[in-house]
Amino acid sequence: MIRKKSSAFRFSAFRIPILLWACLIHLPAEDRMEWFKNDKFGMFIHWGPYSLLAGEWKGQKIPPGDEAEWIMQRFNIPVKEYREMARGLNPVKFDANRFAGLARSAGMKYMVITAKHHDGFAMYHSEVSGYNIVDWTPFRRDVVKELSEACRRQGIRFCVYYSHREDWDDPDGYGNHWDYDPAKKDFEKYLREKSLPQMRELLTGYGPLGLIWFDRGMYTTEQANRFMDLVHKLQPACLVNGRVGNYAHDLLGDYQNLNDNGMPTGGLDEYWETPQTLNGTWGFSRFDQDWKTPANVIRRLIEIVGKGGNYLLNIGPLADGTIPAASAAVLEQVGDWMRRNGESIYGSSACPVGQFPWGRCTVKGDRIFLHVFERPADGILRVGGFRSEILSAALLSAPARELPIRREQGVLQVQMPAQGWDPAATVVVLRAAGKPEAEPHRITQGSDSPFHLDYLNAETRGGAMKRFNRDGRFHIGRWKNPEDQVLWRVQVSQPGSYRIQLRYAARRQSEGRKFLLQFGEQTVSGAVKTTGEWYRYQLFDLGTIRLSARGPLDISIRPAEAGGENLMFFESLRLEPAIPGQLGRID
Ligand code: H79
């Protein structure tokens, strides 16, 4: 289900053959992902009975920064009492237009609302369970329906969050061990009678959905596929996030989520999004007023988009239906910036040269957008790393006024104006002669130091993909054939003998598979050793290699033979001086 993206983080020059889609999928992957690639910024809404408790149960408080929507689990609130409490949910001030309007003025293009969170309560009119906002509360209005209609009117793509495994209300759902004996749970019954039927209701009653945001994974891949198949059968264009599957197995879905509030260390070869919240909680808490500043949110957006991802930013409405004034104010200010600078965000791709000391970048067509966080003291912005000829520079806010540029020892210098600075990020637009290309980059070594080669500084070829793993780490996987390669371009300054240390995880199916490590003309072969199941990484010693010449060297790893399973989940290749202090000195 996951396609390699066309925009790699650093080495963008290699294009991946288009994978054939399973005949189940009615639309080609590219078409279905198009809006996701363009839109970049979405609104997440966590809203449910927990909003009424606002972080407190019978005098016990959720500490600031902890997750208020977890209150039922945290204080082991009995189902009977939580259900009684939920009867009081009556958000009389709720106005769906206000939500859609705020998303719109913040520059957000999609909205994801918790149709059911882990507490099992549906924020829509469900016939599967009467424990929903229409049948259970005096409010009697379908919040999900009203939001879906308001979003459609205001041009926001509507999406739902659905916790498909966790359900603290249902005797057979996952998670409630204080009311129900885990040994007596019939999880299949839960899937059959609540989770899948509710998913069907959401897919058939609320118009076209942009994506379904599952959470907490499934026990098995087979179970996850039942959800994926249902979504694709009823709404072929609707995307599925990666948390649909078992976190410890191969990740499924149309795109991956980083961990909650995760920031990426680098780009990935697949589509991704990071869910983050404006303070420290998802559902509303009276005890958490630690709001991020508008500038912080803007810089996070830039950081994420500059690495090829999407930013799903959460608000937690109050139980009366209003949006906390502080979070609305932050979003309005982010919107001000987006109105002026959205051109540098929507439809852009990852920066091909990584990050700069003064800020970040994105690219689109023949334009490079430089997001300047720190104003250079001498007024000259130094932009290294682009090979492309740069034809002109101007502030995005003043396109008619060209800024003087020149190149000095390969580094572009832009003479910045004294005025027009934005405290969050000032955007400079460079126009390149053609598609912006990065300079070929070589990894250098310090004195007597090892080479640490990992996913971040690697170039992937063929089917090899830089992927997220649910532990919050990253690796390279999906390589099966000799053309699926991982490559590094290094600069050897200290000839000598190096110990080769490979860190990876490998499933039993990969045991004994041969691979080749290429150091220029020298080849070292190895055989995969299993590390048990899935993502259990271990360090393996592959002997020593003598790098006798100073200068450029290409290092690669590839499967020796075609076919079979994923070779390994590769984490890093370390070249350690065999005898410390004995490497040749730099001239
Ligand atoms: O919906 C939001 C979270 O409630 C949900 N994902 C985001 C989008 C989420 N599900 N699981 N987790 C987050 C991770 C679980 C964290 C926990 Fe805890 C640590 C559960 C128990 C210990 C945080 C601290 C919540 C309660 C105490």
Per-residue model confidence (pLDDT) at position 319: 98
Query: What is the 3-class SS of 178-245, one letter each residue?
Result: CCCCHHHCCHHHHHHHHHHHHHHHHHHHCCCCCEEEECCCCCCHHHHHHHHHHHHHHCCCCEEEHHHC
Residue identifier of the C-alpha nearest atom 2 of ligand 1: 282
Per-residue model confidence (pLDDT) at position 583: 54
DSSP string, 478-519: ---STT-EEEEEEEE-S-EEEEEEEEEE--GGGTT-EEEEEE
The SS3 assignment for 314 reads strand
The SS3 assignment for 140 reads coil
Residue 524 structure tokens: 């070292």
Residues 6+ apart with CB under 8 A from 20: none
Per-residue model confidence (pLDDT) at position 17: 31
The owner of tokens 């990253």 is: 474
Tens of pLDDT, residue by residue over 289-309, are: 999 999 999 999 999 999 999
Residue 246 Cα to ligand 1 middle (Å): 16
Closest of 340, 442, 436, 450 to residue 396, by C-alpha: 340
CATH 3.20.20.80 for domain 27-342, yes or no, is: yes
Tell whether ligand 1 has an atom less than 6 A from the beta carbon of residue 215.
Answer: yes
Tens of pLDDT, residue by residue over 139-192, are: 999 999 999 999 999 999 999 999 999 999 999 999 999 999 999 999 999 999
Greatest mean pLDDT range, 12-16, 263-267, 326-330: 326-330
Residue identifier of the C-alpha nearest atom 10 of ligand 1: 216
Q: Which atom of ligand 1 is nearest to the CA of 117?
A: 1
| Chain mean pLDDT for the chain | 92
Percent of the chain past pLDDT 70, that is, above it, reads 93
Is the pLDDT confidence value at 434 over 90? Answer: yes
CB count in 10 Å sphere of residue 145: 17
Per-residue model confidence (pLDDT) at position 450: 86
Residue 276 one-letter amino acid: Q
The owner of tokens 């099966």 is: 480
Residue identifier of the C-alpha nearest atom 20 of ligand 1: 70
Is the pLDDT confidence value at 4 over 80? Answer: no
Residue 70 Cα to ligand 1 middle (Å): 7
Per-residue model confidence (pLDDT) at position 253: 93
Per-residue model confidence (pLDDT) at position 296: 98
Residue 153 · residue 207 · CB < 8 Å:
no
Greatest mean pLDDT range, 79-93, 264-278, 491-505: 79-93
Is the pLDDT confidence value at 349 over 90? Answer: yes
Tens of pLDDT, residue by residue over 233-246, are: 999 999 999 999 98
Tell whether ligand 1 has an atom less than 6 A from the beta carbon of residue 260.
Answer: yes
Most ligand 1 atoms within 8 A of CB, residue of 67, 69, 123, 164 to mutate: 67
- Tell me the mean pLDDT in the region 462-480: 88
CATH class of 351-432: mainly beta
Q: Which atom of ligand 1 is nearest to the CA of 74?
A: 26
Residue 26 Cα to ligand 1 middle (Å): 35
Most ligand 1 atoms within 8 A of CB, residue of 44, 70, 174 to mutate: 70
From the number of C-beta atoms within 10 Å of its C-beta (0-12, 13-18, 19+), residue 258 rates as buried
Residue 474 structure tokens: 């990253």
Q: Kindly give the interhelix angle for 143-154 and 96-106, rounded to the nearest 10 degrees.
A: 40
- Tell me the mean pLDDT in the region 85-96: 98
From the number of C-beta atoms within 10 Å of its C-beta (0-12, 13-18, 19+), residue 521 rates as exposed
CATH superfamily of 451-577: Galactose-binding domain-like (2.60.120.260)
> What DSSP designation does 21 have?
P
Q: Which helix (H) or strand (E) holds 390?
A: strand 390-395
Domains 27-342 and 351-432 agree in fold: no
pLDDT band at 24 (very low <50, low <70, confident <90, very high): very low
Q: What is the pTM of this model?
A: 0.92
Per-residue model confidence (pLDDT) at position 21: 34
Cα R_g (the chain), whole angstroms: 26
Residue 414 one-letter amino acid: V
Is the pLDDT confidence value at 16 over 70? Answer: no
Residue 116 one-letter amino acid: K
Q: Which atom of ligand 1 is nearest to the CA of 314?
A: 8
DSSP string, 223-236: HHHHHHHHHHHH-T
pLDDT band at 8 (very low <50, low <70, confident <90, very high): very low
The SS3 assignment for 412 reads strand
The SS3 assignment for 341 reads helix
Per-residue model confidence (pLDDT) at position 581: 57
- As a whole number of angstroms, the distance between CA 24 and CA 7 comes to 26
Distance of CA 175 to the CA centre of its chain: 26
Residues 6+ apart with CB under 8 A from 587: none
Query: What is the 3-class SS of 60-91, one letter each residue?
Result: EECCCCCCHHHHHHHCCCCHHHHHHHHCCCCC
Residue 192 one-letter amino acid: R
pLDDT band at 533 (very low <50, low <70, confident <90, very high): confident
Residue 132 · residue 197 · CB < 8 Å:
no
Most ligand 1 atoms within 8 A of CB, residue of 260, 314, 470 to mutate: 260
Tell whether ligand 1 has an atom less than 6 A from the beta carbon of residue 166.
Answer: no
Is the pLDDT confidence value at 514 over 50? Answer: yes
Is the pLDDT confidence value at 416 over 90? Answer: yes
- As a whole number of angstroms, the distance between CA 49 and CA 86 comes to 5
- As a whole number of angstroms, the distance between CA 538 and CA 503 comes to 5
Distance of CA 562 to the CA centre of its chain: 31
- Tell me the mean pLDDT in the region 252-259: 93
Residue 291 Cα to ligand 1 middle (Å): 19
Is the pLDDT confidence value at 105 over 50? Answer: yes
Please tell me the least confidently modeled range out of 55-64, 213-222, 260-269, 330-339. Answer: 260-269
Tell whether ligand 1 has an atom less than 6 A from the beta carbon of residue 140.
Answer: no
pLDDT band at 580 (very low <50, low <70, confident <90, very high): low
Residue 129 Cα to ligand 1 middle (Å): 24
Residue 243 · residue 163 · CB < 8 Å:
no
Q: What are the sequence ranges of the domains in the chain?
A: 27-342, 351-432, 451-577
Is the pLDDT confidence value at 124 over 80? Answer: yes
Query: What is the 3-class SS of 431-478, one letter each residue?
Result: EECCCCCECCCCECCCCCCCEEEECCCCEEECCCEEEEECCCEEEEEC
Tell whether ligand 1 has an atom less than 6 A from the beta carbon of residue 262.
Answer: no
- As a whole number of angstroms, the distance between CA 151 and CA 103 comes to 9
Residue 30, CA distances (Å) to 11, 26, 157, 364 in order: 21, 12, 18, 17
Residue 94 · residue 113 · CB < 8 Å:
no
Tell whether ligand 1 has an atom less than 6 A from the beta carbon of residue 190.
Answer: no
Distance of CA 576 to the CA centre of its chain: 33
Closest of 280, 323, 331, 325 to residue 55, by C-alpha: 280
- Tell me the mean pLDDT in the region 216-234: 95
